[in-house]
Amino acid sequence: MNPLRIKIARLEFPNPVFVASGTFGYGQEAADLANLSALGALITKSIGAQPRRGNPHPRLFETTAGLLNSIGLQNVGVQSFIQEKLPFLRAQRVPLIVNVAGRTIDEYEEVVTALEAHEGILGYELNFSCPNVKEGGLEFSQKAEVTAVATARIRKLTKRLVIPKLTPNVTRVSEIARAAESEGADAVSLINTLTGMAVDIETWRPRINTIVGGYSGPAIKPVALAKVYETAKAVNIPVIGIGGIRNWQDAVEFFLVGASAVQVGTANFVDPRTAEKIVNGLQEYLERKGLASIDELRGGLRVEKRG
């Protein structure tokens, strides 16, 4: 039996290492650099009801072991996605989750409704947490009641997986996660980017166009671990851990604090084979530790008093 196999709701995934939305395009761009069938799942760049052109230059700024971005949800829109991107993704042997974004709950519904008519999609990750667009996005997951209403309305539309993606930019992310769980979410994924900024001291200008952007990369891993730890204790649905993961050791930390699966994000920009390397590393780690499955790792953090 495959020791890396995991389940979310009733669905089985070949391994718990996914690639995060916005860090693997629509699959095709990375297909000649990485083995898509090695991924536990591919989560697409956010799809909205209409195409979005995204934000102007500069969109990226590298910080110490981190990255500030302000892409602004540039995407092709759901109709082009269905016509131009979905056929390729469906032809790959990779579990597919579509990330959905919108300004209003109606827009999330519109995208999901359009996608429901097409096969080959296992679920929807709901981007309730993009910091780089003026409306919608972030404010959905900053308020538990809004997260609850949005989750409930999407839940009514689909039997596929519903996975709200949560922001760390709140007081207690576990409360938001509980709101999503109570309205039928199958899992939650976290963390999306932290808000961050950087300043050019010669020109006195912000380093990215929106002044404040999304902060990701190895530097945010400790924050992500703390949020996943908090959330995994608070909910009974799977928690998908995201934030600064670039090797199998990082992934193991997330499983130990309670994640059921992980997503690799920024690291894909540097090495699009990161996820498959993590899969191999996890396999060896389980063997070395004599563990039969990833489930035996999950939440295994030892917190008894030392002495």
CB of 151 to other proteins, least distance (A): 27
Residue showing tokens 């209409």: 50
Comparing CB distances to other proteins, the nearer of 254 and 294 is: 254
8 A C-beta contact, residue 280 and residue 39: no
Among 8, 38, 47, 55, binds other proteins (CB under 8 A): 55
Of 139, 41, 151, 154, nearest to 98 by C-alpha is: 41
Between 248 and 294, name the residue whose CB sits nearer to other proteins: 248
Per rule CB under 8 A, is residue 204 in the interface with other proteins?
no
Strand partners, 199: 206
Beta-carbon neighbour count of residue 80 at 10 Å? 15
- Does 117 interact with other proteins (rule: CB under 8 A)? no
* Residue 211 touches other proteins, criterion: CB under 8 A: no
Say whether residue 171 binds other proteins (CB under 8 A): no
Q: Which of residues 221-260 bind other proteins (CB under 8 A)?
A: 246
Does the footprint of other proteins cover residue 66 (CB under 8 A)? yes
Q: Are 193 and 68 spatial neighbours (Cβ–Cβ below 8 Å)?
A: no
**Which one among 28, 79, 195, 283 touches other proteins, defined by CB under 8 A?**
28
Which listed residue (50, 74, 169, 283) binds other proteins by CB under 8 A? Answer: 74
Comparison of 53 and 302: residue with beta carbon closer to other proteins? 53
Out of 59, 160, 227, 298, name the contact with other proteins by CB under 8 A. 59
**114 touches other proteins by CB under 8 A:** no
274 is catalytic: no
User: Binding other proteins by CB under 8 A: which of 48, 123, 196, 218?
Assistant: 218
Closest residue by Cα to residue 18 from 177, 244, 240, 259: 240
C-alpha to C-alpha distance for 124 and 141, rounded to whole angstroms:
16
Residue 92 vs 195, nearer CB to other proteins: 92
Q: Which amino acid is located at 225 in the chain?
A: L
Residues 6+ apart with CB under 8 A from 297: 252, 255, 256, 286, 289, 291
Give the residue with the Cβ less far from other proteins, 30 or 163: 30
Applying CB under 8 A, the site for other proteins has a residue count of 46
Residues that bind other proteins (CB under 8 A): 22-25, 28-33, 45, 51, 53-62, 64-67, 69, 71, 74, 87-88, 90-91, 200, 203, 205, 217-218, 246, 266, 268-273
Active-site positions read 130
